[in-house]
A and B are shown apart, each in its own frame.
Chain A
Amino acid sequence: MLSRFVAFTSIGRKALPNQYDLFAFALVFAAFIALTHVSHGLTLPLTAPESTVVSLDYWLLPYYALRTTLRMFAAIAASLVFTLVYATLAAKSRRAALVLIPLLDVLQSVPILGFLSFTVTFFLGLFPGSILGAECAAVFAIFTSQAWNMAFSFYQSLRSVPRDLIEVARGFRLSGWQRFWQLETPFAMPGLIWNMMMSMSGGWFFVVASEAIAVGDTTIKLPGIGSYLALAIEEKRIDAVFAAIIAMLAVIIAYDQLLFRPLVAFGSRFRVELSAGQTPEKSFVAQVFARTHWMRVLMSGPARLFHAIALLRMELPIRAHPQTPGKSPGLSRAIDIAFITCVVLATLWAVWLIIGYVRQELTWSDVRQSLLYTVFTMIRVILLMALATAVWVPVGVWIGLRPRLAEKVQPLAQFLAAFPANVVFPIAVVLIIRFSLNPNIWLSFLIIFGTQWYILFNVIAGASAFPNDLKEAVSNFRIRGWNWWKNVIIPAIFPYYITGALTASGGSWNAAIVAEYVKWGNDTVSAQGIGAYIAEATADGDYPKIVLGVAMMSIFVILFNRLLWRPLYGLAERRLRLD
């Protein structure tokens, strides 16, 4: 049986066990044991001693790391389901797209930890007394950090399926369900997997941040590395902070090796370019699995099942003839008008509701204050982006132009981007307190700490892709110095830089909520900014202020995207593409 969807099963040459079997076996069973161990902790009552972090014992860290990872997987699974449904709906229905796509655009501008402040009480109410509610809130927060860009990627792929492939599918009369699994999903796979992995990398930050939450009087510490860290901060135990950092390092390495790389290698096989152009992605673990005989046998069952399901016709009886030529345009237009009217009315109603709420709870001075703080945070983000650019662009170019070095540094930069920067925040706080540094300045660096790597690895990728003949032309015409930077390398890496900077800037706004308001024991260090404003309001359980802060930040992020990044992106697309 040839599998079409599961990469790890291909026709094997020999049935005897090989040296990879042992390795793969150990890996898989370790995963099973870990799962059973973790799953019984999920349904404990909220008051049970094991439902929260009470001890800083190092030996508990592996268990906490597992719980953290599990949360991450729950979120990515939810994101995947959301993506498949939401993006498909948006791509298949013109009217749905009118609403869904702008909505997605706004959603991805809302600071992720802002969602957490809102939703935690909701989820706690949903499962009263059980830890499941808090788990859901944390998973939802991580979900919000992952789902939007996955959905965007999937939507864009669905919209750009090559016309001739669609014609083949229609010519063979594939049903909608078959077309989705045989054509559209495989076509969208490389983009989806890449975005999924990028989302997961970003997600570690939020899983750490969302485990220990205090909204007003409700304090939750879900078992996990984030809560362990929070407890270490409360008890001022710097050794425990380091233990958490090491545990996190181990988790990220495992994630990078066991998931990120195998999946990207798997995704590359769905690329549509028919030439075997780029260097294929390699993954040690994927190779191990591909070479392991029993693994292939084991996977062939699920693969066959999946394949069978993908080939079901699943037709709705009413839509037997999907395309009827005689559809009257007048009727369609009338439905359009009715639909748009509904959308407009719903929007007006929502706006009216918001204004009513804000008028009741907030004063103009609150608005002015939050606006001022947002401007402070914006200045911070801009300055630090500029600083990170000034540092990492030359470094990235230097590395990227040396292929052998780039090959080694690139995975490291990707790894650093996945590492949750908030785990190392306490160290910075200790230093700030120790040397009585100005938090308004020194806390700012934390904002960019985790996100600067996106700039680095994108610039490296850009410089590596600089064509060799252009390199030769440059040295032939002896273009050097400032002229070289201005006319050669900066335009060449610009599209890549923009991609990296866009991610870094978005991440920095999010990080502000955690980075501008940090604690060490009873000492609180906070900078003036909208991040600290939201964090403080969350700690006080002051919902109107949370809403105001989150809304203000979202508006700024949206404006930032529209007025700065999108035009730059357009410029890069039109003028500076090398192919």
Chain B
Amino acid sequence: MQDNTARTSFAGKQTLLDVRHVSQRYQTGSGEPGPPVLDDVSLTLKGNEIVGLLGRSGCGKSSLLRIVAGLVFPSGGEVSYLGHEVTGPVDGVAMVFQSFALFPWLTVLANVELGLRAKQVSQDDARRRALKAIDLIGLDGYESAFPKELSGGMRQRVGFARALVVHPNILLMDEPFSALDVLTAETLRTDLLDLWVEGRMPIKSILMVTHNIEEAVLMCDRIVVLSSNPGRIAAEIEVKLHHPRNRLDPDFRQLVDKIYALMTKRPAPVSGREGAFPGLGFGMALPRVSTNTLAGMIEEIAAEPYVGRADLPALADTLQMEVDELFPVAETLQLLRFAELEEGDIKLTPAGHRFAEADVDVRKKLFGDHLMAYLPLAARIKVVLDERPTHTARAVRFLEELEDYMSEEYADRTLKSVVNWGRYGELFAYDETSETFSLENPQ
């Protein structure tokens, strides 16, 4: 920690990055601006800190990171870096990607050199700096390897070396550990933190996106929690724990629980809002959650030791699920009134209890009834099918309507979810070849 404080004195608390009232909208299928992804987000990044952007998938945290990187333009507000407005990718900001994003046809060394060579840094200079970065990040010996020869952890190290070699002031990280297995991710995190604490990285600050609450508490000096739909800053939490942090430390656990509670807090009731998904009523963007997962989750909560009420961090731990996977399931259950979320807990409703105890046919009936009652899109499809003499309807019809409210990608996903759930609830049949809904299953 002495190192850290020593560094603070010379790096100072100068503001590196200033995000002011940024908002961003989806492009709907018709190309018109759709519902907001980000709404009036402001934050600053000062020298010598790690700031985490924490939120669920779809809260716009990756969009925010890309806006900061100058890869995407916000539809409102502005970003400035060292006092200058960001109108495109800037020197001094480098990014590490979830998918590593390495060029498969380049060797490790060439991948690391690329950013320098593109800036016309001389061959010798580029080579010297690249080797230094490779050495720093623990990749020596792998210089001439191609990415496909490396394990995930090693690939991400290349990603880090490639970002560090240009000596950026700000390192942006887009869920850098989430494509790695648990052990590899932990090693890489620790190595990175060691370098940071010892001040050996040629950077001033890190802005990272994550959906992993523990990861955020482990690494960040400040955590910005984003709420979903639209993405707004729900809370900013300072983490004052000393490095190296211990996951079992009661203070650590308390902080994790606090953030869970924050993230499951019901949004202030807005008239007509249906739970946590973007859009209202018919135009609600649905996540892809399998009915098996839903049923499994209900059973898990109903059984010992939870008996109807489970603490989300504990549940996530038992089920080995990341927040990103857990929340969509929990929220789908809430949407269908099989469970309720409050204060970081999930609680089964009476319908949820009935579902847990029922056999397959009763479950399907119950699920179908709840779809009809609480999912406007499912009800709509059913009504259309009932009214038509042929009892069939093309999927395109609903898809186009959905695209008035959301992007093509989301519309597609939403429709697929409804098809899936509707099939389970035996509300309607769907023929994939002709892309038609009907009431009859093939005989």
Contacts and interface: CB of A to CB of B under 8 A. Distances in A.
Given A4-B106, A182-B114, A325-B73, A165 B101 contact: yes
Interface in B93-127: 93-95, 97-107, 109-110, 114-115, 117-120
A284 B95 CA distance: 41
B155 interface: yes
B273 interface: no
A11 B145 CA distance: 12
B104 A172 contact: no
Given A269-B105, A270-B104, A2 B89 contact: no
Given A4-B110, A172-B114, A275-B148, A165 B103 contact: yes
Nearest to A272: B104
A172 to B, nearest CB: 4
Contacts of B114: 172, 182
Contacts, number: 92
A311 B88 contact: no
A325 B104 contact: no
A168 interface: yes
Nearest to B74: A325
Contact of B147 (A11, A178, A183, A274): A274
Contact of B105 (A186, A323, A324): A186
A323 B86 CA distance: 12
A383 to B, nearest CB: 29
Interface size class of A (residues with CB under 8 A): 35 or more
A463 to B, nearest CB: 25
Interface string B39-71: 000000000000000000000000000100101
A276 interface: yes
A92 interface: no
A575 interface: yes
Given A4-B110, A323-B88, A325-B87, A171 B104 contact: no
B440 interface: no
Contacts of A269: 105, 146
Contacts of A4: 105-107, 110
Contact of A313 (B110, B120, B148): B120
B95 A167 contact: yes
A168 B97 contact: yes
A174 interface: yes
A361 interface: no
A173 B66 contact: no
A537 to B, nearest CB: 45
A172 B103 contact: no
Given A11-B144, A165-B101, A171 B71 contact: yes
A272 B101 CA distance: 10
Given A274-B148, A275-B148, A311-B118, A170 B89 contact: yes
Given A171-B89, A186-B105, A276 B97 contact: no
Nearest to B435: A574
Contacts of B149: 276
A554 to B, nearest CB: 31
Contacts of A324: 87
B267 to A, nearest CB: 30
B328 to A, nearest CB: 23
A171 B159 CA distance: 13
A172 B115 contact: yes
Nearest to A275: B148
B99 A321 contact: no
A360 B162 CA distance: 68
Contact of B95 (A162, A171, A273): A171
A574 B434 CA distance: 11
Contacts of A178: 118
Chain B contact patch, size range: 35 or more
Contacts of A574: 432-433
A167 B101 contact: yes
Which residue among B94, B104, B166 has the maximum number of chain A CB atoms within 10 Å of its CB? B104
A149 to B, nearest CB: 23
A155 B261 CA distance: 50
Contacts of A469: none
A274 B155 contact: yes
A57 interface: no
B97 A172 contact: no
Contacts of B147: 274
Nearest to A179: B118
Interface in B305-321: none
Contact of A270 (B95, B105, B144, B166): B105
A269 B145 CA distance: 12
A271 interface: yes
A172 B71 CA distance: 11
A461 interface: no
A324 B149 CA distance: 40
Nearest to B99: A164
Nearest to A3: B110
A167 B97 contact: yes
B91 interface: yes
B94 A171 contact: yes
B91 A173 contact: yes
B71 A167 contact: yes
A183 B144 CA distance: 19
A164 B179 CA distance: 14
B209 to A, nearest CB: 14
B443 to A, nearest CB: 19
B127 to A, nearest CB: 10
A189 interface: yes
Interface in A25-48: none
Interface in B174-199: none
B266 to A, nearest CB: 34
A173 B73 contact: no
A12 to B, nearest CB: 12
A324 B103 CA distance: 28
Interface string A185-221: 0100100000000000000000000000000000000
A321 B114 CA distance: 21
Nearest to B107: A2
Contact of A323 (B69, B73, B110, B432): B73
Contacts of A323: 73, 88
Contacts of B99: 162, 164
Given A274-B147, A275-B148, A170 B71 contact: yes
A173 B90 CA distance: 8
A167 B144 contact: no
B177 to A, nearest CB: 16
Nearest to A276: B148
A322 to B, nearest CB: 8
A178 B71 CA distance: 18
B442 to A, nearest CB: 15
A182 B146 CA distance: 15
Given A270-B104, A273-B104, 8 more contacts: A2-B109, A167-B95, A168-B103, A172-B89, A173-B88, A186-B105, A575-B432, A575-B433
**10 cross-chain pairs, A with B, having the tightest CB-CB distances, nearest first:** A164-B101, A172-B115, A325-B73, A186-B105, A270-B105, A174-B118, A168-B101, A274-B148, A164-B99, A171-B89
Interface of A: 2, 4, 11, 162, 164-165, 167-168, 170-175, 178, 182-183, 186, 189, 269-276, 311, 313, 321-325, 571, 574-575
14 contacts: A4-B110, A162-B99, A162-B101, A164-B101, A167-B95, A170-B71, A171-B71, A171-B89, A172-B119, A182-B118, A186-B105, A270-B105, A275-B148, A325-B87
